[in-house]
Chains A and B, each alone.
Chain A
Amino acid sequence: MTRRGSIRQGAKGYLLTFPAFAFLAVFFVGPLIVNLLESFKDDEGGITFAQYARALGDAYYLEVLGDTIALSLVVTIASLLLGYPLAIAIARSRGALKSFLIFLVVTPLLINVVVRTFGWMVIFGRSGFLNSILKFLELDTITLTGTWTGIAIAMVQVLLPFMVLSIASTLEGIDGELEDAATTLGATPLKTIIHVIFPLSLQGVITGTVLVFALSIGSFVTVMLMGTNSTMVLPLLVYQQLNLASDWPFAAALGNILIFVVLIATALQLSLSRKGARR
């Protein structure tokens, strides 16, 4: 192919991506711009930084931001620890067993978040399933509703599939002979996972981590239904400002702060990906 032909071919390729870009520009970037403008609007229609000063200059909102990030980190780490072995099992299984495992992992996504959260409330309730078992075993009952622990458990359940599927797809691409070679050279199964499999699956781990973190930091339904005032997260504050206080500028500012945090996390992922690729 001539150089001119190659350029034309490339241009056609870019043109085909235009609908997707146009869609994102209208339905994603557009609302973000509107949101950004709203956050700087004052009562007289002028420009103000007051909403950001209010959010970032108040110890309460900073505490909520910190709690939101901490919850997302805990959910992400827990999903990674629980999801990695599951991803290995899926990557190594074949046929019906593999389909069954994938089905098990994906099932939580098929259930509406409100219904699923009510399910957890039934399990964690004072006279719920969990405490009934503890009572039956003559053990002390525990309180999980209204606690960070209960919320984190419920969130891990729904976000686990994103971690597992991201890692499993990377693990499937790893040459099985590398594992055999490590074993032949005397590595134990644990050492093989730590020194061979894990570094090679890092791309999947990073993708899963960013996905789970981003989804977790933006979710509020579980926190709203299972939490109390002492388990407040930023997205729930946004919801309150929009639906109860009708304070759109402040809601927009809180939403933009949340987006900024996710952008930092994504930038971190890109940086880690580049480092991983260089190795």
Chain B
Amino acid sequence: MIHRLSKVFLSSLFASTLMVGPSFADDPLVVVSSGGVWLESAKANFVSCYEERTGEQPEVLTINSSEVINRLRANPDNPPIDVALLSEIDAIRAGEEGLLEKLSVEKVPNLADVPEVFREQWDNYATIQNFGAMIVLYNKEAIPEPPADWKTLIDQTIEGKYGDRVSFPAVTMAWGPMFTWFLTTLYDGDEDMVFEKYKEMLPNVANYWTSPVDAMNMFAAKEIDILVYWDGRAYAFAEENDWAGAYIPDPGAFQSAAMLAKVNNGSEKAWTYIDCVLSPEAQLGHSKMIKYPIVNSKVEYPEELAAVLTPLEAVRQPEFRSFMDKIPNWIERWNKEVR
């Protein structure tokens, strides 16, 4: 009897092993998208193009960048994702760790229309799909004349000019380290000065936000008057609400981007999907839906769309390799000092 039970158990174990075995060539392409309107746009613009070209439907995962890279690290030989969407730093790390395959015009013809600046820091292991900037969203009724530049905004916050009705991103927010790098560029590369400013602002900020949804909710509820936030959503909010305004303080803003990449050992069909994402039609459709600039140089924005997009000239692309190794130290300093 025991012998029979063992046989049943081993058979079940074998069967279940087969069920979780390696993926096969006819498996659907697995791609990644952000959620919400980004997912809607991915389906409307990228997936539809891919379906048209291949007659197949890809599986779209909505997971964040760290989850993507962790899944790739766990299964580098048999990755569960074919097309990754990563943060800038994760894309650099993934490329260095051999988790991504280099993009080329031969495999992705539309890449020819994507300027080098959108992929050279990533050594062609990934390309920017769309980008944005962190700008200032403010309450026009409470603050008729907002500060023209970042340093004045910071100093006036420290002075308490806005009460505690200001919110900046935290260093521990996903793009917080990039914002910190941007601030260091304003203070001649002096990190200590930046952390000192963070500390001095603390009594006069409502919070340093980590959740974009909560930050926007606070602004919408008029609990704060100044919010440092993503341009696309800030402009969209200002467009819908007369009392709100959005602008880029001098000397501009830092570029933040979604990085598109072909996973190493993933399906070859991924090239078709990436080519779709970078096609002028899909890029324009994507930009119209998410209200962020895209990277295909052939795209011409309609006037009303161009008015709410941060121009490339106004953003500065972070020099990721100059600070990515400092991030653990920045997080530790942030946790210990700014509280």
**Residues of chain A at the chain B interface (Cβ within 8 Å):** 8, 11-12, 15-16, 18-19, 22, 60, 118, 121-122, 125-127, 145-146, 224-225, 228-230, 232, 237, 240-247
Contact = CB atoms under 8 A, between A and B. Distances in A.
B328 A229 contact: no
B222 A127 contact: yes
Nearest to B324: A246
Contacts of B339: 228-230, 232
A115 to B, nearest CB: 11
Given A125-B217, A229-B338, A241-B328, 8 more contacts: A12-B2, A60-B335, A127-B221, A127-B222, A224-B210, A225-B210, A225-B214, A228-B339
Nearest to B90: A246
Interface residues of B, number: 35
B221 A240 contact: no
Contacts of B174: 243-244
A12 B1 contact: yes
Specify the main secondary structure of chain A where it touches its partner. Answer: helix
Contact of B208 (A15, A229, A232, A245): A229
Interface string B87-110: 000000100000000000000000
B172 interface: yes
Contacts of A243: 66, 174
11 contacts: A16-B5, A121-B214, A127-B223, A229-B208, A229-B339, A232-B339, A240-B335, A244-B66, A244-B327, A245-B331, A247-B328
Interface in B191-247: 206-208, 210-211, 213-214, 217-218, 221-223
A38 to B, nearest CB: 12
Contacts of B172: 240, 244
Contact of B9 (A18, A146, A228, A244): A18
A19 B214 contact: no
A79 B207 CA distance: 29
Nearest to A236: B172
Contacts of A225: 210-211, 214
Contact of B213 (A60, A118, A240): A118
Nearest to B337: A229
Given A60-B335, A230-B339, A11 B2 contact: yes
